[in-house]
Structure 1
Amino acid sequence: MTSTPSSSSEKKPAHEPQPIVITALDGFLLSGTLFLPPGPINTSAPKTKGPSSTTTPLSDLSVGATLKPEVDALTRVVIISSATATIQDFYYKFALYLSQELGMIVVTYDNRGVGRSMPGDETLAFMKAEIDNQKNTASGSGSTQTSTPPPLPPKPIISSPNKNSKPKKNPLIGFEATIVDWGTKDLPGVFSWVLEHYPHNPTIFTGHSVGGHLLPSLDSYYTRNLERVFFVAVTSAYWRHMNSPLFMYWFFYMASPVVNKHYGYYPGKTLWNSMEDLPKGCFETWSYWGSFSNYMLGGNPEWKPNFDLFRVPAYSIYFSDDDFSSFSAPYIMDLIPNTQRRCVGIDPVQDLNMKKVGHMGFFFNQCKQKLWKTVVQAWFVDGQGLDRETISERAKAGSSYARL
């Protein structure tokens, strides 16, 4: 697969991103988006070509060498797993770049309780019923079985002009969900969706912040097609590892519990205007993990066997101006000790001639020239994890001063 050259102007995608419904392991419905590349998409199952002599069995190495050209010709599938309190739409531009310019299939999604993955969402239920109906119709053709028609779509919500009417109750009040649910139910559901629709295609995982924390906890059943992993700002939120440890201690263990109790959920939009609202239990997981030096493995030690068994090559980048923790990414990488891994810290000013990247800025469109077309293309297309010096050389050669 080769990447297509990009133009300076934004082009309309050949395929409009389409909404999808992903079912978590416990049946909870998640909102997702599918980005398809232009041109042909190769999803064919690789065929093992036997040797000329049928009496000589193929060794494992021979099978791998024989299948490699066919596997390399398959279209890659990228899963983007969001940071805490971050909606999937935040990664829209990055997903478009991967699909339209690198020719990859991309799946984004909202974890339960975030964005469009709200409890009891009637739109998701309708979409799921319609999808199931189409499957039943296709599988039941020629049989005596009749498919159940999907329910009517939800009625539009019309605000009442009555000034005395009570405001709508936030759907997160009373909703039981934790970040552990994101890792043990939601993320396996996303991988299951990809395996169902693209069972033979190699997968690349992009984890931003907590999205990277959760991946190694998965059973290898779900990650069997995973080819490589890309971590962005996957740092530790152990309070002593944060840039302002005393503030984070106050934030995690003094102020936020009071806020959670008062609202019944964590009102990130109201308080910070840069976070999404979170289920109460998700924030409690975040702060609980933050009390351990080994972060998520301190909070969930039962995950350690899967972390030790994790074998997928991982490449992690982090930034010296990260607002939360600017140095702790290597601690997270040390928790997956038995895989090939590289962790690279980048100084935006010195290495990229950029004013700021921080914890979130990598996914801004301004990073396209200096990071996406260097770091991302090298790792996603060629499997090369660039070191800091090479990143700096390519970034400075490609463009002038930029500011996010």
Structure 2
Amino acid sequence: MTPVRHAPAATAGVDARPVAIACRDGYRLRGHLWRPEANRPPGRGTIVVNPATGVRARYYHAYARFLAEQGFVVLTYDYRGIGESRPARLRGSGIRWRDWGELDFDAAVRWIRQREAGPLTVVGHSIGGFLPGFAEAAGAVDRILTVGAQFAYRRDYRARERLSMIAKWHLLMPCVTAAVGYFPGRRLGWLEDLPDGVAYEWAFRGRRMEASYPAAERPALLARFAAVRAPILAVGTPDDPFGTPAAIRRGLGYYVSSPRIQVQLTPSAIGAEAPGHFGLFHARRSGGFWADTLRWLSDGQNPWPDSVIDPSHPIPA
């Protein structure tokens, strides 16, 4: 991953206020609730934004602001161990990817459902698009939009970068984490610092997500993913080294009860500049990709019907 630039946090016409979200284990997450100040169209509903691994919630603030200007109430938040939700001591915290879904996303859904009525949609970037299946509260979600969503199985990386990515994320990252007690991504200029549990899950995860966890827990875990029934629109781009078609499809395969549409955007749909893994959330996409997403977020209509990938195409082993 390359460093991401953070978007500005405020604009006229939108009220963004800091919020605290209590998880069931007592951990408190920090985030922002974005709300139009006035003239909000009725029935737009609410959106929860799930970040990518090692990316602070503020990177998505420009998109959240855009959505609020269209009439949505939007919740952005940092996972435990990241950004404003980082504990005083990160070293040896043991925080896992699974915790981000099972505890953090679960708490975000329950928190927003207690305060807002109407349809609830999740926008999930990278691991953020895979996390809902860990959460018991995911049954309250009405629709999901994912961007480059996958769980970082190394053989799914784009072929031309695969060896260098394996060396970086699956060899160097766990070694550094073992030495330091957490992964100092900020110091290395790669991404935000990561809790040790997250770094190890990423580094050692295989082609089956559930194999990362004790065998006795796997049936219940898979059943939780299967309990999600929200329609999913999964977006990929041709230059994303993480969110390849195979990687996205592998993650979608766990959502067996959800209607699933996978699209691979063409250059004409995303503009001349290749977005990579992060670029679709940059403010320059507001007149293109961001505006297109409103069709799905508002009405459940796929904005890119010509980019749908055949679901019968096999996933590599």
| Equivalent residue number for residue 195 of structure 2 | 279
For residues 98 and 11 of structure 2, what CA distance do their matches in structure 1 show?
38
TM-aligned CA deviation for residue 297 of structure 1: 3.1
Counting only pairs closer than 5 Å after superposition, residues 136-151 of structure 1 correspond to structure 2 as: none
Q: Please say if 1:329 is aligned against 2:245.
A: no
SS in structure 2 of the partner of residue 307 of structure 1: helix
In the alignment, structure 1 residue 109 sits paired with structure 2 residue 77: yes
**What residue in structure 1 maps to residue 313 of structure 2?**
none
1:83 to 26, 43, 52: 52
Q: CA deviation at 1:180?
A: 1.4
Contact 2:33–2:74 (Cα < 8 Å) also in 1: yes
Report the Cα distance in structure 2 between the residues aligned to 1:325 and 1:216, rounded to whole angstroms: 18
Give the corresponding residue for 1:299: 212
Q: Identify the residue that residue 299 of structure 2 maps to in structure 1.
A: 382
Q: CA deviation at 1:202?
A: 1.7
Provide closer, same or farther for how the CA distance between residues 194 and 353 of structure 1 changes in structure 2, counting only shifts above 3 A.
Answer: closer
For 1:54-113, what per-residue CA distance to the aligned partner results, in whole angstroms no more than 9, with x for missing partners? xxxxxxxxxxxxxxxxxxx4341100011000000000110000001x101000000011
User: Does the 8 Å CA contact 2:50/2:128 hold for their aligned counterparts?
Assistant: yes
SS class of match (1:30)? strand
1:359 to 258, 262, 277: 277
| Equivalent residue number for residue 230 of structure 1 | 145
Paired with 1:336 and 1:345, the residues of 2 have a C-alpha distance of: 19
CA distance in 1, matches of 2:257, 2:280: 27
Residue 207 (structure 1) aligned with residue 124 (structure 2):
yes
SS at 2:287 equivalent: helix
Distance 1:278 1:257 in 2: 11
Is 1:14 the counterpart of 2:13? The answer is: yes
TM-score (norm: length of structure 2): 0.85
Superposed CA deviations along residues 267-309 of structure 1, whole A, max 9, x for unmatched, are 11111x24101111111111232xx223x33324342112222
Q: Structure 1: 5+ residue runs without aligned partners?
A: 1-10, 43-72, 121-170, 392-404
Equivalents in 2 of 1:41, 1:325: separation in Å?
34
Q: Give yes or no for the alignment of 1:263 onto 2:180.
A: yes
Q: In structure 1, what is the equivalent of residue 315 of structure 2?
A: none
Post-superposition CA distance 1:158-196 (Å, at most 9, x none): xxxxxxxxxxxxx31232311111111111111121122
SS in 2 for 1:176: coil
* CA–CA separation in structure 1 for the residues paired with 2:138 and 2:249: 23
Aligned residue for 1:241?
156
The CA deviation at 1:27 is 0.7
Please give the secondary structure, in 1, of the residue aligned with 2:142.
strand
Distance in 2, matches of 1:369 and 1:279, equals 36
Runs of 4+ with deviation above 6 angstroms: none
Q: Which of 329, 345, 348 is the matching residue for 2:264?
A: 345
SS of the aligned residue for 2:264 comes to strand
The equivalent residue for 1:144 is: none
Structure 2 CA distance for partners of 1:74 and 1:284, relative to 1, 3 Å: same
- What is the distance in 2 between the residues matched to 1:388 and 1:360? 23
Q: Distance in 2 between matches of 1:89 and 1:109?
A: 8
Task: Please say if residues 20 and 28 of structure 2, whose CA atoms lie closer than 8 Å, have aligned partners that are also in contact.
Answer: yes
Give the number of the structure whose alpha-carbon radius of gyration is greater: 1
Provide the residue aligned with 1:45 in structure 2: none
Q: 1:96 to 1:286 in 2, by over 3 A?
A: same
Deviation at 1:197, TM superposition (A): 1.5
Give the match's secondary structure for 1:181: helix
Distance 2:253 2:118 in 1: 29
Structure 2 CA distance, aligned partners of 1:202 and 1:107?
Answer: 14
Give 1:340 deviation, angstroms.
Answer: 1.1
In 1, the alpha carbon distance for the partners of 2:239 and 2:226 equals 30
Seen in structure 2, the aligned counterparts of structure 1 residues 211 and 74 have a Cα distance that, compared at 3 Å, is: same
Q: Please tell me the residue identity of whatever aligns with 1:280.
A: D
Residue 138 of structure 2 contacts residue 228 of structure 2 at CA under 8 Å; is this kept in 1? no
Aligned pair count?
Answer: 291
CA RMSD of aligned residues (A): 2.1
Evaluate the alpha carbon distance shift between residue 173 and residue 30 of structure 1 in structure 2; reply closer, same or farther with a 3 A threshold: same
User: How many angstroms apart in 1 are the aligned matches of 2:34 and 2:93?
Assistant: 30
Residue aligning to 2:288: 370
**1:178 corresponds to which of 83, 89, 96:** 96
